[in-house]
Structure 1
Amino acid sequence: MEKKSDYEILRSYVLDGNDNLVGKAPEGCVRLEVTHSVLSDDLLGTNNFKNFPLDIKIKDFKEKLYRFVGTEPKYMELILKDQSKTNEISKIDNDENLLSFYSPIDGMNIHIIDKDPNSYISELQDTSKIPKPVISEEDYNKRENTVKKYREEQSLMKQQQQEQEENSDPSESIKVGDRCKVLSDDPTNYDERLGKVAFVGTTDFSAGYWVGVELDLPLGKNDGSVKGKRYFTCSPKYGCFAKPKNIQVGDFPEEEI
């Protein structure tokens, strides 16, 4: 037989031979999963397995459960179930009996039924009764460091940056004769048009700086002129204009039909 490592021996002891998180209670105790008729597992906590002495009287056992779930002992109905929490083993109904009288084993379920007619516990799970803070738009706008003001500031900064880029002279980075790629403003449009820069400057047809491109293929809209004014010369449908931010200069090979 293969000898187990110290880690495997310790793991087997803690998990009591079962590959789960029930664990094993200390000697003289039993480890039970506590559930409640009103409280959900989320409210009880992620680990609702608790160790209880086997020689504890049921009346004292209820006191311990009271401190955990908040249901008064006189309103408790206790049911011992198997590990699957579906099969009832026995009802725990005699306060003078010891817990060991009911022969519980590690991993079993002690289910608490709350019989209190005036129980407030169910209200702990009803968030609809919690008053929600309300603030008028006028008062909200007076506040500093709000999400709304942050978004407005970011939007303004982006707009100012775009205006600065459009109004700044791009001639230092984009020069007439440079090979270039014309990019689209539409993020879903992956079409790329190649050509050479034929014009850099301001125009009469729109504010800001523009770059005129003589395309390699007839994928443009003009011949270098717009609204009767010529900015450069090329064949019809070989010319286009784009904002500097949509021009990528590089050593692009010339496209052929």
Structure 2
Amino acid sequence: MSKVVNVFVISPDTHSERRIDPHISVEQLKGKLELITGIPVANQEISILASESDPRVLAELTDDTKPLGYYGLTDWQVLKVIDTNPAVSLTVQLTDVTQVEKFELSSAEYEQRQDTVLAYKQRNKVGRFAQKDATPEVEDQAVDIPVGSRCEIESTEAGLSKRGTVRYVGTTKFSKGTWVGVEYDEPFGKNDGSVQGERYFSCRQNYGVFVKPEKVKIGDYPVEELDLEDEEI
């Protein structure tokens, strides 16, 4: 089995850690990176940076026929992908909302509707509409989720695996009960391990998240890799 290298892949809209076989060609790499970055193969310009903390350009992948090893790609270097024609990229199409017509309601109109979150809370006496003498919720019981465990978080999107590492288990100041702090492998999160000024663990921004224990599956979940052997999508 070929030795793989661990690298970071960055583009205007993505940032992830990947394992790559240095024997594949630049052309093969571009085909895989299109699925990750949303940038078409023809519009990709790729350069190798020394590291995340050292942005020196060590090489530019200008020859599609050369293997990555030809350019001296090693562990923890950065593959920086530039989009030469962002107007046609999938990521731009998904994030550009300037042409979307907005639907707006006045406060009075919103309060009159019966199909809103506000109406639901009023009917079910939730939140500020709850009875003041309601019985307090019972605190969550202790859970068997070891810190440092690999895990997968339940997702509402079909086919999307949100994997990461458990970094915190316990109570928090932002809500009652037991919460599990997870550092995702990719930027699917909402914070950097802190909420409302209180730090529970540390990670990069948008890699941290807090979820209830029932949404956490503990197991031997490896970091998602580029599947360089399987050419089917």
- Normalized against structure 1, the TM-score is what? 0.41
- Normalized against structure 2, the TM-score is what? 0.45
**Greater fraction of residues in helix:** 1
Highest RCO, 1 vs 2 (Cα 8 Å, sep ≥ 6): 2
Pair member with larger Rg: 1
